[in-house]
Amino acid sequence: MSQNQSGQHFLLSTKARTLSLARVMRLSDDDAFQTFKDIRWASTNGDPVCPRCGCVTVYSLSDNRRFKCAACLHKFSVTSGTIFASRKMAIRDILAAIAIFVNGAKGHSALQLSRDLDCQYKTAFVLAHKIREAIAAEQTSIGEVAGSVEVDGAYFGGYMKPANRRVDRKDRRRRIYQTGKREVVVVMRERDGRTLPFVAPTEAAGVSVVAATVAKGSTIYADEAAHWDALEARYLTKRINHSVEYATADANTNQAESFFSRIRRAEIGIHHHIAGPYLSAYAAEMGWREDRRRVSNGEQFLAMTGAALAHPVSRVWKGYWQRSEMS
């Protein structure tokens, strides 16, 4: 981990702390509303822009919380057309939720968020996943990864409780003893660049995604697993045999392993179980956190809020609990 000239790690320095949750909670309703405007419409210095037609001639309605477009007559609010559309939570509480979420060094659980905000668990669960969806979309919007790219995979889920008696215990690493829920997170990580994870049934199944996502002319660093051999016809590859050594001067996957270390800490210390249909959401969150581990929490807050306000209405999380209760 990098250190500054005094020998202190960046995360322990004052430069890492530019956001105060107390300051967010002290915002008035007007201040919180203006903060949302400034972040959503940063290109116009906080002046509203019609989300339907893009017109900049907009009038404020009498309640001072909604606007009307002069061109198409569309009425909208500061959260219309964003992932926070149709919100019931106060804007200040949403800002506080994002600040709390950002400050979770290893992530933040929905149960703890519900206690922090004094809201229902269901509300906190959906809010946290909306934030994850927004930052995941931002991660993938850039397109291909390029340059020196490390690829690796790690398995999550499929837990089988060990039997009490030693003679009855099964080797849970073997496929015949898996529950069918075990999946692999495959990560492509540019050295000192972007982290792009995705979920596949097996590590071998991720080879085609790697080939479609890593730009031609890149150098790929991988371990000696046989399925990565297929990449050698397309890229310059450098391999490391982990059964012999962890790294050499020419090849290693240390930065990919760093990402897996982060997601393992999140699983063990915060969420306890991140497999299943939500595994890709947690993986994307940890990729976003890994890429911004050396910027201040204030910058992370602005980036996360901006990503959420730039993301359209979620087709997955809008009305999530209503659909779940009906099914």
Angle among Cα 200, 269, 247 to the nearest 5 degrees reads 60
Please, what CATH class does the domain formed by 21-78 belong to?
mainly beta
- Amino acid 298: pLDDT: 95
Which tokens sit at 207? 């080879």
Distance of alpha carbon 285 from alpha carbon 292, whole angstroms: 11
Distance of alpha carbon 62 from alpha carbon 81, whole angstroms: 21
- Amino acid 180: pLDDT: 65
Distance of alpha carbon 78 from alpha carbon 90, whole angstroms: 12
For domain 144-296, is the CATH number 3.30.420? yes
- Amino acid 325: pLDDT: 67
Domain boundaries, the chain: 21-78, 144-296
- Amino acid 190: pLDDT: 96
Per the CB < 8 A criterion, the answer to whether 110 and 125 are in contact is: yes
- Amino acid 2: pLDDT: 54
| Burial category of 192 from C-beta neighbours within 10 Å (exposed 0-12, middle 13-18, buried 19 and up) | exposed
Q: 176 CB contacts (<8 Å, ≥6 apart)? A: none
- What's phi and psi for 67, nearest 5 deg? -135, 160
Per the CB < 8 A criterion, the answer to whether 86 and 107 are in contact is: no
Amino acid making up residue 26 = R
The closest alpha carbon to 31, from 19, 46, 50, belongs to 46
201: left (phi over 0), alpha (psi -120 to 50) or beta: alpha
- Amino acid 105: pLDDT: 87
Question: Coil, strand, or helix at residue 185?
Answer: strand
What single-letter DSSP state applies at residue 107? B
- Amino acid 182: pLDDT: 80
Regions of the chain short of the pLDDT cut 70: 1-7, 11, 160, 172-173, 177, 179-180, 325-327
Concatenated DSSP letters of 36-74? HHHHHTGGGTT----TTT----EEE-TTSSEEEETTT--
Question: Coil, strand, or helix at residue 7?
Answer: coil
- Amino acid 3: pLDDT: 57
Amino acid making up residue 11 = L
Residue in the block written with tokens 């919007």: 141
Question: Coil, strand, or helix at residue 76?
Answer: strand
Distance of alpha carbon 116 from alpha carbon 128, whole angstroms: 13
